[in-house]
Amino acid sequence: MKKSTIPVKYGVLIAIGLIAYFLILSLIGVQTNPIFSLGNGIIVAFGLYTAMKNYKKEKGSDFDYQKGFMAGLFTGFNATLIFTIFFAIYVTNINTNFLPEMLANWSSHYHVGVGIVVFIAAIMGFATTFVLTLSFMQLFKESWNPKKNHNSSPVEA
């Protein structure tokens, strides 16, 4: 049985979407505004839904809950890893003023470095992936409800 390339393909596509969205926000100058993080969730949700839908179509009758769930997780984890690497490079090499600008919005007396911000970005991506995958699998799993047969006669007591 051949391995599916959907988690890698869609993981890369989701990451490209996230990177493009982030760069567009930075061109406008609103990349430090937390409200725009909702766009990340929309991009990830659309990508995961599409990936899982195509994975179910690819597997056909061999589709089961565990494999669909793992396909969704791998897709999101691939996207998160790629975006986290981009984010770390962006914060440390491309725009070194990003971190102080972002942290200025927080009232904190703690020293927050690049490592913790990148770690938090990764954890947020993994958590989003996990929750969305659980949610979408409810749409793709087979129902355990019996089918109603409208041609049957009622049972007499």
- Alpha carbon 110 to its chain's center: 29
| CB 80, CB 126: distance < 8 Å | yes
Rounded distance between C-alpha atoms, residue 73 and residue 127, angstroms:
10
Quote the tokens at residue 89: 């490079």
Rounded distance between C-alpha atoms, residue 56 and residue 7, angstroms:
12
Closest to 54 measured CA to CA, from 72, 66, 29: 72
- How confident is the model at residue 54, as a pLDDT? 93
> What is the mean predicted confidence (pLDDT) over 13-36?
90
Structure-derived torsion over alpha carbons of residues 38, 84, 90, 93, reported in degrees to the nearest 10: 160
| CB 19, CB 83: distance < 8 Å | yes
What are the angstrom distances between the C-alpha of 72 and each of 59, 93, 97?
14, 32, 35
The model's pLDDT over 56-105, given as tens digits with 9 standing for 90+, comes to 999 888 888 888 899 999 999 999 999 999 999 998 999 888 887 777 76
pLDDT band at 1 (very low <50, low <70, confident <90, very high): very low
**List of residues 6+ apart from 54 with CB closer than 8 A:** 6, 10
